[in-house]
Structure formats: C-alpha cells, structure tokens
Amino acid sequence: MSNLVPPHGADALKPLLLPEAERAAEVARAEGLKKVPLSSREVSDLFMLGMGAYTPLDGFMSEADWRGSCEKMQLSNGVFWPIPITLSASQELADTIGDGEEVALTDRETGEILGTMVVSAKYGIDKDLECQSVYGTTDGAHPGVQKVLEQGPVNLGGSVRVVSEGHFPDTYEGLYLRPAETRALFEEKGWSTVAAFQTRNPMHCSHEFLAKTAVEVCDPSGAGRAQTWRYSSRRARESYRCTGAKLFRPRNGRSGGLPDRDALCGSEGSLVACRIPPELWMFASGGRTRSCWCR
C-alpha cells in the first residue's frame, strides 16, 4: 500500500494516454474524423492530461467547470482548480460539430494527430471574465491575457483519448518523468518528505536560497530530497544540475520535467503547480516563477 498522499481530487492517477499498442489504430481511426487544431498552449494541456498530471480531469472543461474555475477556483463538483483547461475553436468550426460528435485533435503547427475527443459541450467564452479572474487584468499587453484573447470564441468540452506525447520523451530522455514514474521513484527511495523546486529561468541567488531552505526543512542532516520540474532552456537545465550537485546528495536528489505551459498568472499558477502529483503543499512561493514547495 502506498504511503504517498493520493492524487489531487482522486483515489488514483488518471492518465489519458492510450497504451502504446492501441495508439496506431486510434490514429488511423482519427484520420476519418473532423479535425480540431490545437494551439501550443492546448497541446501542452493535452500532454498533461495524457500523463495524468491534470488528474482528476478527463478532458477539456465543460462550461460549468470553466466558470467555476474562473469565479471560485474550483470545478463544478467542488474540487479545487484555479486555472481553466480549455480547448477553443472558431465559430465556423464549432457550428459544424454536433453534440456527442467525436473529433480528432491535431497540432496546429504540424498537423500531427495527438488525440481524439467526444464533444459534450460547446459554449461561448467570456474572455474578460477569464482574464480578470485568472490574471487580474484585461490588458492585452499581459502575455497570458494575450493568449486568451487569441483564442477562438467557442470552447469545446469533452473527454479525450491521447495518442502522442510529442517529442518530449525522446528530446528529454532521462528527464521526462510522468507522475506515475515520479511517485514510483519516491516509493523506491523511501522518501517521506519531498520538496520541489521549479522555475523557467536559470537559478538565481534567491532560488538557491529557497532550495537550501527546503533541504533544511526536509532533512536537517543535509541529506535533502529534491525534485526539479518543468522544461526550460538548455542553460537553465544546466544551472539546475550544477546547483543540485552542490546542494543535494546523489541518492536524495532527482531532476525531472513536465510538458507544462507557463500560465504567467502569479499565485494561481503556483497553486496549479502545487496540485500536480505527487500533490506538493505550498511551502514558499516565488510569485510568477513559482519557486518552492514542501509536502
């Protein structure tokens, strides 16, 4: 029996990526479906759904879940969720999709089929509500607001089946860790306390201080346990490796990554990162860069 805290909002992880043996057939079937192109942000969300990092979601949000996330930071069933996970479409495309219709989800840039979705909801987006609720502004100069404003006017909601993880497993071999693998690693090493450091930039002095503090909180003997999340530039990853080598003993440190998007929304982004399995409770927050958590 696992000694880890259960995944957020569920008794078990909910990865939506099909087993490898089933993916080719699903892709072939999806070729005959209507295609819905995904932006880079939506592709990242689909990959996170696939690996189970967005447990307990089973796909892109319905209107009730979207509105609850914006207004109350929770899903319609009351589960905490501070940032909408949505898929938008043009009005013209949305008008051709019927209730309950299955569609193929494709990468807008490459055309690759990444998954399928049964469309159970179509609804108009109140972009001002989403921007003000999530980002605290409707100023189009804010990069997060700009992303919302660039979306189509209609959201499509429904359960998804994911067939691809993109280039991430190959490009970041050895760093790409799915939540199930991370949890298995924690169990294998017998870690009872885990701190996570994550940022998109090379480590600064303040980041190093937070990591050192995490070591002291998790293990006063200095045997610190750490997990580094998120893909950044090569230079940023190298800074994590060098600093980690100085701060953590080899048997008690591990670097890994997620194909996550940077929400650029301050505390709400921190809270999203906190609830990604294995459910890291907030220890200290570095504002927009989401710095350090401790369970």
Catalytic residue numbers, as ranges: 200-201
Q: Of 148, 155, 154, give the one whose Cα is nearest residue 127.
A: 148
Whether 90 contacts 154, CB under 8 Å: yes
Q: Of 124, 146, 198, 161, give the one whose Cα is nearest residue 40.
A: 146
Whether 282 contacts 8, CB under 8 Å: no
Whether 135 contacts 150, CB under 8 Å: no
Q: Of 82, 21, 9, 86, give the one whose Cα is nearest residue 52.
A: 9
Q: Of 237, 230, 163, give the one whose Cα is nearest residue 203.
A: 237
Beta bridge partners of 190: none
Collapsed DSSP state (helix, strand, coil) of residue 293: strand
The answer for residues whose C-beta is within 8 angstroms of residue 291's C-beta and 6 or more apart is 197, 198, 199, 206, 207, 210, 284, 285
Q: How many residues does the chain have?
A: 295
The answer for residues whose C-beta is within 8 angstroms of residue 152's C-beta and 6 or more apart is 88, 89, 90, 91, 93, 94
Tokens, residue 202: 């090379």
